Structure 1
Amino acid sequence: MAPELPGLGVHNVIVGLPDLDADELLPACEVLCQEGFKVWTLSAGQTSQLPGLLRVYRRRARIGVHGVTTAAQVQSAAGAGASFVASDFLLPELVGVVPELPVVLGGMTPSELRAGMEAGAAAVQLVPSEAFGTSYLRILPSLLAPGPVIQAGRVERYQAELWLDAGGLAVFPRDIIGPEAVLGDNLDDLRVTLQHWRLGD
């Protein structure tokens, strides 16, 4: 049986953190927690920053690694303390590299996503979801039910709400937070952005 993803919180939104050092991310991560966003990812190239974030937020957030494509990256993420890993591609060989680590596999077609589920992925993600219209987003979660399916890519809020209403597990908008929102003079813009994404409020 596949390991389960960590709980996705009240908003069902996974937040990708920008490629910055842990010390630079800490203030923004505090705002994320305050606004109820407690599942984050770092890119595979930033795995070395994970321990620094976990020292502060291990009990308050679950942090994964996205963009993995190799077994070595999965092992590195697990060694750094990642709660899960995500790949944009259908790479069944990543499942089970670290048996207790949940793996999310990517795909575009129902057949690819179903193959990811059958490979033992904890969830699958439609990526890039912006390649599809709203009709596809409405039907896909029910077509693959009861499998856990995540919408990933450049996502608008109305698309995210449509996706969740259709039975999708979560949304993973890759561009919620950019470096400028984290490194600015204050975090007011970041907070406004996050409040816009408080799905279900």
Structure 2
Amino acid sequence: MTPDQFLEGLSGSRLVAIVRGTDGQAAAEAALAVMEEGFRYVEVALTTPDALAAITRIRDSAPESCFVGAGTVLTAQDVHDVVAAGGLFIVTPALAESIEVGASLGLPVLAGAMTPSEAHAAMTRGATAVKLFPASFGGPAYLKALRDPFPRIPFVAVGGVGLNEAPAFWEAGAIAVGPGGPLIGDAASGGDLDALRERARAFLALAARHGEGKQS
């Protein structure tokens, strides 16, 4: 998957699931559950115990046209570990050396940034898109203000984005949103997968309605 393919696919799906928990096996099960419901892009945070093993399991078992990546990727070693585990994209929480390293390997990179300077720097370093994080800090109005001077930067809103908040971020120009806690809940720590699937269907239905509205 090239960065351009990642960007096109993410723009179409409008969603990337963020899996972070206390158990790698449970995280893998949660990721596969949301993929089975229709999420195409899922990141597993490296702060999750046994995250690399979880990524490998997800990569081996993911439905066709579904892609697993890693989040909280900070160092060059992190990038190489993720590639070895089978991760197909990386996500950072901030400006880190992993951006340049990932880009040099041809990986799609979703780079964390908050300020205009950080967003510009992320793209200069080779990011495929900017993860506005934490998006809840400034809200949709802040995203809209960022996009005024940077209309060509693809932004993904992450951090405190639930079902009630997602539509406003899409309307403000985010190509996608990244639900974490509002989607995954406690499923990545051994919680209820049936409830997770129900939440996943709600997010997917919301994204589909938003897409229909844009086309009409």
Q: What TM-score range do you get, normalising by the shorter chain?
A: 0.7 to 0.9
| Partner Cα separation in structure 1 for residue 56 and residue 146 of structure 2 | 36
Task: Sort the Cα spacing of 1:29 and 1:103 in 2 relative to 1 into closer, same or farther, 3 A.
Answer: closer
Letter in 2 for 1:104: L
- Point out where structure 2 has 5 or more consecutive residues left out of the alignment: 210-216
8 A Cα contact 2:35 2:62, kept in partner: no
Residue 85 of structure 1, CA deviation: 0.5
- Residue in structure 2 matched with residue 66 of structure 1 by the alignment: 71
Letter in 2 for 1:70: T
Specify which of 157, 160, 168 is matched with residue 166 of structure 2: 160
| Partner Cα separation in structure 2 for residue 158 and residue 123 of structure 1 | 23
Task: Sort the Cα spacing of 1:117 and 1:143 in 2 relative to 1 into closer, same or farther, 3 A.
Answer: same
Residue 59 of structure 1, CA deviation: 2.8
- Residue in structure 1 matched with residue 141 of structure 2 by the alignment: 135
Residue 47 of structure 1, CA deviation: 1.7
Equivalent positions of 1:162-177 (< 5 A) are 162-175=168-181, 176-177=183-184
- Residue in structure 1 matched with residue 24 of structure 2 by the alignment: 21
Residue 121 of structure 1, CA deviation: 0.7
| Partner Cα separation in structure 2 for residue 10 and residue 189 of structure 1 | 25
| Partner Cα separation in structure 1 for residue 74 and residue 127 of structure 2 | 14
| Partner Cα separation in structure 2 for residue 153 and residue 54 of structure 1 | 25
Residue 93 of structure 1, CA deviation: 5.5
Residue 51 of structure 1, CA deviation: 1.2
Specify which of 78, 84, 87 is matched with residue 89 of structure 2: 84
Residue 161 of structure 1, CA deviation: 1.2
Letter in 2 for 1:110: P
- Residue in structure 1 matched with residue 214 of structure 2 by the alignment: none
| Partner Cα separation in structure 2 for residue 84 and residue 110 of structure 1 | 24
Name the structure with the higher helix share: 2
8 A Cα contact 1:44 1:66, kept in partner: yes
Letter in 1 for 2:169: W
Letter in 1 for 2:185: G
- Residue in structure 2 matched with residue 4 of structure 1 by the alignment: 4
Task: Sort the Cα spacing of 1:143 and 1:171 in 2 relative to 1 into closer, same or farther, 3 A.
Answer: farther
- Point out where structure 1 has 5 or more consecutive residues left out of the alignment: none
- Residue in structure 1 matched with residue 46 of structure 2 by the alignment: 44
2:112 maps to 1:109: no
